[in-house]
Structure formats: C-alpha cells, structure tokens
Amino acid sequence: MTKYDERFRRRVVQAYLAGEAGTKTLAHRYGVGRTMVRRWVASYREHGEQGLRKKHSHYDARFKLSVLQRMWRDELSYAQVAALFGIRNERSIPIWERLYHEGGIDALTPRRRGRPPKMTTSPPQKPTEDAVQDERTREDNAAMESFFGTLKSECYRLTRFVNVEQLRDALSRYIHYYNHERIKLKLNGLSPVQYRTQSSAA
C-alpha cells in the first residue's frame, strides 16, 4: 500500500479547499483514490493539521466504544466515522461493532501478541451477576444515546416549543414516526417495528 506523507496530503487538501478542482479531478491529478481524497479533506476539516499526520493503528477498548457510540448516535457511515476519529482502516470499525455486540466492551480489548498464556488447571470463572448487569447497562446506554441524539437532531432542535404540552405532543408523534415509519439502512431499509415483525415471522 502506497504511503503518502503529511506534506503531500496537505497539498491535495489545500488544492480542494482553494476550489482548484473537485475530488475526482484531484485524485486523477495526484494519482490517488478519490475516496482517499475525501477522507483527507474530512479529516482535515475535523482535526486540522493533526488530521493529516500519521495515524496510530492500535486503539484501546474505550476508544473503540466511543467510535461506535458516535457512529450509532449520529448514524454515520464507517467511512465518515473513520475520518472523524482519524482511523486509518475503516474496515476495522464493522469488526469492532460485531465484537461489541457479541461480547461487550471486553471483546474490544486488544489481544496481547506473543505466546498464548499457559493453561491452568482451575476452571474459568463465570461472570458474576453484577458484571452481567453492568454489561447490559452499557449496551442499553449506547442504544439510548443513539436514539436521543437522533431525536434531538430531527425533532427537538428543529422546532421552538411554546409550552410543555406542545413539546410532549411533538415527542409522542416523533416516537411513533421513529418506530413505525422511519427506515434505517442497518435494518435493511425497514422501520424498527417492520424489522421486528419480519424477524419474528421468519
């Protein structure tokens, strides 16, 4: 994979921001992929010069979880959230998502390299009831943060409410819309209710 230094990336981004050409023309002119140009521009807009510097390829579990929560909350694509957090390989993010759904935050912890640990004779410890409950709480919180972030951007911030009754009525109508009419790409273009109905019928 070809490596591009910070100076080269900056030249491409500055050419785009100066209005010299679009991403397609610049990609052809500099011999890079159009997606890469878009990613550099997005990263620069979000992080400035720091966004064009060499990225780390190893991330801890809390960083990965913060990426997933931001993606769910704002309904970002893998490419968008990768640019936002300066992640080199966007293909890592769906892997983190799968691991989290399978094993929670513990599954996001990087494995140590080297020899595997020696097997012990003692049986593995079962997770305590408190640990299981904590994990369920974290998962519930992530889902709630995603929903409330969407509700604020699509309902609350778009209207100036005169009183509490007007706000309550708007929230009630939005929740019905969210559950019954609002489609999501992650649910195969279905609303949450349609998706659950389809899954239960399968």
pLDDT at position 28 is 92
pLDDT at position 139 is 57
Averages of pLDDT over runs of 10 residues in the chain (202 residues) are: 76 89 90 86 74 67 88 84 76 89 85 56 57 59 65 70 79 82 69 74 64
Give the model confidence (pLDDT) of 84-117 as tens digits.
Answer: 777 777 888 999 999 988 888 888 887 765 555 5
CB atoms within 10 A of CB 81: 18
Cα–Cα distance, 113 to 163 (Å, whole number)? 58
160 CB-side CA count, 13 A = 0
